[in-house]
Structure 1
Amino acid sequence: MKAAERGILSSYDSKRASTRAVIGVMSLVVAAMVLSMLYPIAVTFFNSLKSVPEVNSFPPKLLPRAWEWSNYREAWHYMKLPLFLKNTLLIFAGNLVVTVFALGGAAFALSKLSLPRRKLIFFFFLTTLFIPPSTYIVPNFVNLKDLGLMNSFFAFWLPAGASAFNLLLLKSFFDDINNEIFEASRIDGASDWYGFTRIALPLAVPIVSTLAIFLFSSAWNDWFWPSLVMHGDPHYPLSTAIYKKVIQATGLKLNVKFAILSMVALPPIVVFLIFQRFILRGLHLGGVKG
């Protein structure tokens, strides 16, 4: 019979009254945190199924008296959600390609190639992590404007190739790959590009999956930067369109607003629930080792 793995607490410790009290308090704190996170989502969903007088009623009630599913049909026809969703997915796809090949190639070079002063180069990238993101919004905007990339998806794809955090995760993962694999491929006549595309990238699927989830979340939720570099409905991603056409709208009914917000909030929740194991696994594999 296989022996059970020992947890943090032994069976003796778990029977002590003080230990049970601490566990009880921690459970209450966790439950309160979960409720505080789920309550806004529940309010948004149930308000999307209410009538306008019921949404504005006081004191408010969580559950609707009558379930108004027609609010979702009206919300779907209010704005061009498929167009904005397509723009968001294009931003995500471009960011992923740039991250895998540009940052992945840089991480592979810093990890497996004999570059002169590569530690100094890597230290330079790490120092950018200490710079507040708000400080380089204006320089990025000016550079993209001078390059003529306004109203272009390259305004998202180009900065994606300068993420020091993603570079750090990829390099830390490549550092754990045995160098003998690449030395054997070089003996067989393989180039460094072959080692990167045919050996390193297939092994890096876990960390790439984690980065894909992060990039999807960023592309889905970011509205401020797209509102600066994009102008007009044909170029807006979903979050910017929601901010400009729903959050700032004055003539839109509240229940329809909540219906739109519910539809927009559902996909990232589903993506996280399905791929959450890749997040923890990827961060573990790509973590910095001491």
Structure 2
Amino acid sequence: MKAAHDRAIMSRYDFRKSGVKVVYAFMVACIVLISLSMLYPFVNTFLNSLKSTKEFFAFPAPFFPSKWLWGNYKESLTYLKIGMHFKNTIFIFAGNTFFSLTFLGLAAFSLSHLRVPFKKWVTLYFMSTLLIPSASYLIPNFLNLKELGVLNSYWAFWLPAGANAFFLLLLKNFFDGIHKELFESARIDGASEFRCFLNIAIPLSAPILITLILLGFASTWNDFYWSSLVMQEDKLPLAAAIYTKIIYPGSTINWNVRFAILSMTLLPPLVVFLFFQRYIIGGLSLGAVKG
């Protein structure tokens, strides 16, 4: 007996129509153009890193270098301590991940499955902070951290990470989807609320937790403005170090060497998102706001 297959959006019969073929070809062409436009900056950055200074400033500039100068990458290492700044970035990311997932996870679990007084108002309070532009509380955050004496330390990143309302929203909506009967059965067996959180909520929340970790990695890797405000040179993450030492208008480093540094720093996030993009899409869908 022939196995039944689910019908696709367009069947073979649909493709026999000339109008469908035209629309389908147009959609494919749009996808190809969008893909090329997104890939162009990455390819152009890499190729510019291999050009000579003369080729870089030539007009019209050649797309491919006549000679691939891999020495630009070796020269770039003399201008920036990539290893040190990469280590700073990893420390910041690790602390942000721990504080955000620990404190926001406990808060989201409490708002979802515990009897919290004025639960709806507390949730509304946290969610209303998403309506405030981040630039408006940049200076108050800086002044608060200055009063606490944590400037030029990793705590200047870790403490604000524990109050991320967007992560709280995603976690709470995911926890809302976990059946309360699971926790009630655990409580009957003598499990505490914290044990329910660790042994039931956390294992079932792997998709959204992976998503938040990846989003946190992207935020930490790309952040340069806040880092340049609260950190000094020896503790700057990679993005802030590149901005202050390489990209800043006063820099005298050759542009082909600058692009070599940018090409090296593009690689880690590119690899991460290529391998884990399905977790991001799936996690955001599972943690989406329910209608």
- On whether the aligned pair clears a TM of 0.5, the verdict is yes
Q: Distance in 2 between matches of 1:151 and 1:108?
A: 33
Q: Is the 8 A contact 2:47 2:65 kept in 1?
A: yes
Q: Which residue of 1 aligns with 2:113?
A: 112
Q: Which residue of 1 aligns with 2:239?
A: 239
Which amino acid is 1:256 matched to?
V
Q: Give RMSD over aligned pairs.
A: 1.3
Query: What whole-Å deviation, never above 9, does each CA across 1:20-55 have from its counterpart, x for those lacking one?
Result: 222222222222221111111111101111111111
Most deviating of 243-252 and 62-71:
243-252
How many residues are treated as equivalent by the alignment?
A: 289
Q: Distance in 1 between matches of 2:8 and 2:42?
A: 34
Alignment of structure 1 residues 151-170 onto 2, 5 Å: 151-170=152-171
SS at match of 1:37: helix
Q: Distance in 1 between matches of 2:196 and 2:26?
A: 52
For structure 2, the residue ranges without an aligned partner over 5 or more in a row are none
Q: Is the 8 A contact 2:245 2:251 kept in 1?
A: no
Q: Distance in 1 between matches of 2:275 and 2:12?
A: 34
Q: Distance in 2 between matches of 1:8 and 1:134?
A: 44
Alignment of structure 1 residues 1-290 onto 2, 5 Å: 1-231=2-232, 233-248=233-248, 249-290=250-291
Q: Distance in 2 between matches of 1:78 and 1:177?
A: 51
Which amino acid is 1:283 matched to?
L
Q: Distance in 1 between matches of 2:37 and 2:103?
A: 40
Which amino acid is 1:219 matched to?
T
Q: Distance in 2 between matches of 1:224 and 1:24?
A: 43
Which amino acid is 2:217 matched to?
F
Which amino acid is 1:90 matched to?
F
Query: What whole-Å deviation, never above 9, does each CA across 1:109-148 have from its counterpart, x for those lacking one?
Result: 0001111221111111111111111111111111111111
TM-score, normalised on structure 2?
A: 0.96
Q: Distance in 2 between matches of 1:125 and 1:187?
A: 32
Shift of 1:78: 2.2
Q: Distance in 2 between matches of 1:11 and 1:157?
A: 55
Q: Distance in 2 between matches of 1:194 and 1:275?
A: 29
Shift of 1:278: 0.5
Which amino acid is 1:74 matched to?
E
TM-score, normalised on structure 1?
A: 0.96
Which amino acid is 1:182 matched to?
F
What is the identity percentage for the equivalent residue pairs of Structure 1 and Structure 2?
51
Shift of 1:69: 0.9
Most deviating of 265-274 and 194-203:
194-203
Shift of 1:277: 0.9
Shift of 1:88: 0.6
Q: Distance in 1 between matches of 2:3 and 2:124?
A: 47
Q: Distance in 1 between matches of 2:144 and 2:79?
A: 36
Query: What whole-Å deviation, never above 9, does each CA across 1:52-83 have from its counterpart, x for those lacking one?
Result: 11111111111111111111111123211011
Q: Distance in 2 between matches of 1:68 and 1:144?
A: 45
For structure 1, the residue ranges without an aligned partner over 5 or more in a row are none
Q: Is the 8 A contact 2:76 2:261 kept in 1?
A: yes
Shift of 1:274: 0.7
Shift of 1:250: 2.8
Shift of 1:151: 0.5
Query: What whole-Å deviation, never above 9, does each CA across 1:89-120 have from its counterpart, x for those lacking one?
Result: 11111111111110000000000111122111
Shift of 1:235: 1.0
Most deviating of 21-30 and 271-280:
21-30
